[in-house]
Amino acid sequence: MAAPSEATPPQAGQTAGSASAAPATGIPVAGPSQGLRTVVAGVSHEYRGGGRTTHALGPIDLTIEPGEFVVIVGPSGCGKSTLLSLLAGFTQPSTGEVSVDGARITGPDPRRGIVFQQPNLYPWYSVRENVALGPRLRGAKKAERQRIADEHLELVGLTDFADAKPYELSGGMQQRTQIARVLANDPQLMLLDEPFGALDAMTRERLQDELHRIWRGSGKSAVFITHSVDEAVYLGTRVLVMSPRPGQIVFDRRPPFGDEPRTLALRGTPEFAAFAADVRAHITG
């Protein structure tokens, strides 16, 4: 049995919200797919090497339900990327267990797709070939993987750049390509490590809206890391705050907006400001 979490329990009772507020973009939205239940139980992580041991994370207990959009904020070095790496299966925890639908995670799996802070596209492949990589590794035939790639490039608004090379894209377009590449694997859990951190404010807000629209109604779960409290409150159906290293969850609540569409007006509401202030009050270090 895992140790009890010190986190504030999530608040129940989400409202579906006013779907009529959705901006009409004309771009298709991913169809529903079945989500995964991810459980982090009594997890701590230490890095060892060079005669040094760094207690990076934990102990942490966390359950991510299918369809949740969990956003994590916390001071630099508190273990956020470490937690994402454990969820991806790149790293095994020193203590405790991470499981998906009851099965322990022992390595990476395309059902859990990760978007890194810096785009890591293959420079010698076209944008389409980068997005088609997952289907290609799964053995999809050329026509099929091109169809999948083009469908996802349309989803992120990059149809016109399918034949371009990554260096011909702006930073925001490279991040959209990375998101399309992850989505092309139809992941049930999307892991995003400060994906918009290096972008200008306007591009960032546009990509937040795009990501939210793609996620909404898809049934996919997301874990999104950011240093921006506003981004956390805007995107999250649930916001977590981590303490300084070794990071523990000190705040775990649901903003009152549920999965309703995100609009510019939402950022100006008193509810938004109040929730953001509450998150900020829990960030230390």
Ligand X SMILES: Nc1ncnc2c1ncn2[C@@H]1O[C@H](COP(=O)(O)OP(=O)(O)OP(=O)(O)O)[C@@H](O)[C@H]1O
- Binding residues for ligand X, rule: CB under 6 A, are 47, 49, 54, 56, 74, 76-82, 245
The partner in contact with residue 245, picked from ligand X, Mg ion, none with C-beta cut-offs of 5 to 8 angstroms by kind, is: ligand X
Q: Cβ of residue 49: shortest distance to ligand X, in angstroms?
A: 6
The partner in contact with residue 106, picked from Mg ion, ligand X, none with C-beta cut-offs of 5 to 8 angstroms by kind, is: none
Q: Among residues 75 and 219, whose Cβ is nearest to ligand X?
A: 75
Q: Cβ of residue 134: shortest distance to ligand X, in angstroms?
A: 25
Q: Among residues 214 and 242, whose Cβ is nearest to ligand X?
A: 242
Q: CA–CA separation, 73 vs 64, rounded Å?
A: 16
Q: Cβ of residue 77: shortest distance to ligand X, in angstroms?
A: 4
Q: Among residues 87 and 233, whose Cβ is nearest to ligand X?
A: 87
The partner in contact with residue 47, picked from ligand X, Mg ion, none with C-beta cut-offs of 5 to 8 angstroms by kind, is: ligand X
The residue number with the shortest CB distance to Mg ion is 81
The partner in contact with residue 82, picked from ligand X, Mg ion, none with C-beta cut-offs of 5 to 8 angstroms by kind, is: ligand X
Q: Does 81 bind Mg ion (CB under 5 A)?
A: yes
Give the footprint of Mg ion on residues 126-155 (CB under 5 A).
none
The partner in contact with residue 44, picked from ligand X, Mg ion, none with C-beta cut-offs of 5 to 8 angstroms by kind, is: none
The partner in contact with residue 187, picked from ligand X, Mg ion, none with C-beta cut-offs of 5 to 8 angstroms by kind, is: none
Q: Cβ of residue 225: shortest distance to Mg ion, in angstroms?
A: 7
Q: Cβ of residue 17: shortest distance to Mg ion, in angstroms?
A: 31
Q: Among residues 151 and 230, whose Cβ is nearest to ligand X?
A: 230
Q: Cβ of residue 251: shortest distance to ligand X, in angstroms?
A: 15
Q: Among residues 81 and 99, whose Cβ is nearest to ligand X?
A: 81
Q: Among residues 245 and 282, whose Cβ is nearest to ligand X?
A: 245
Please give the structure tokens belonging to residue 136. 């290609």
* Full strand arrangement of the beta sheet holding 52-64: 52-64, 38-49, 95-100, 103-104
- The reply to whether omega before 108 is within 30° of 0 (cis) is no
Per the CB < 8 A criterion, the answer to whether 189 and 33 are in contact is no
Cα–Cα–Cα angle for 268, 269, 271, nearest 5°? 135
Q: CA–CA separation, 201 vs 210, rounded Å?
A: 14
Q: What pairing do the DSSP bridges indicate for beta strands 221-225 and 189-193?
A: parallel
Q: Cβ of residue 223: shortest distance to ligand X, in angstroms?
A: 13
The partner in contact with residue 118, picked from Mg ion, ligand X, none with C-beta cut-offs of 5 to 8 angstroms by kind, is: none
Q: Among residues 88 and 148, whose Cβ is nearest to ligand X?
A: 88
Task: Give the footprint of Mg ion on this chain (CB under 5 A).
Answer: 81
